[in-house]
Each structure stands twice: as structure tokens, then as C-alpha cells.
Amino acid sequence: MNEFYRNISDALIMLDGLERDLNIRHFTPNELKVFYTIVTQSAVNQAGSNISEIVDNSGMSRSTVYKTLKKLSNEGIINLNQSEEDGRESLVTLVCNS
């Protein structure tokens, strides 16, 4: 069991370093959950995800996701663009600062 806790500790240390490197340590738990959901979805579909997919995959309420997406957009972390397929939906993509 000791090795299990050591592995968890190592993972948490790595996660802390990633959050520091990405400058997202100031995120609230809701913001982190939505951000990680977007990152996971982007690995599957680089063209972006619609908000309904983010709501479904994050397990969070639609209103919480909308509010969080607006904040992430204002911070320049994501782009929100109207979907060409469904004008009622927005497509969410990560801003890549290379």
C-alpha cells in the first residue's frame, strides 16, 4: 500500500508542476474541471468540442460550464466560435501559444 501512496504523491507533484507551467494554479476547482475536460476532448477532436459535449463529459451543470467557459475565454485560454453545423451551439477550442 505504501507504493500506492508514493505513486499518488508523485502524480500530484507532476500535476502541480504542470499547473504551474501552464499558469493555471489560480483556477478554481470548477475551472480546472472544465479546462481538463476541454483538453481531453481536444485530444480526441482537435477541431473543438461543442458546449453540450463539455457539459456531458464534465458532469457539471450547463450554467456552470457556460459561466466557466466565458471566464476561460476572457482569459484567452479558449476560443468560443459559433458552430457552422448548429448555430445554437458554440465550438470550444484551446488557444495554442507556441
Tens place of pLDDT per residue across the chain (98 aa): 699 999 999 999 999 999 999 889 999 999 999 999 999 998 888 888 889 999 999 999 999 999 999 999 999 999 998 877 777 888 899 997 64
Alpha-carbon distances, residue 32 vs 4, 57, 82 (angstroms):
24, 13, 23
CB-CB contact of 35 with 72 (8 Å): yes
Q: Which domains does the chain have, with CATH numbers?
A: 29-94 (1.10.10.10)
Q: Which residues contact 91 (CB under 8 A, 6 or more apart)?
A: 47, 48, 49, 50, 80, 81, 82, 83
| pTM reported for the whole predicted model | 0.83
Q: Which cell is 86 given?
A: 448548429
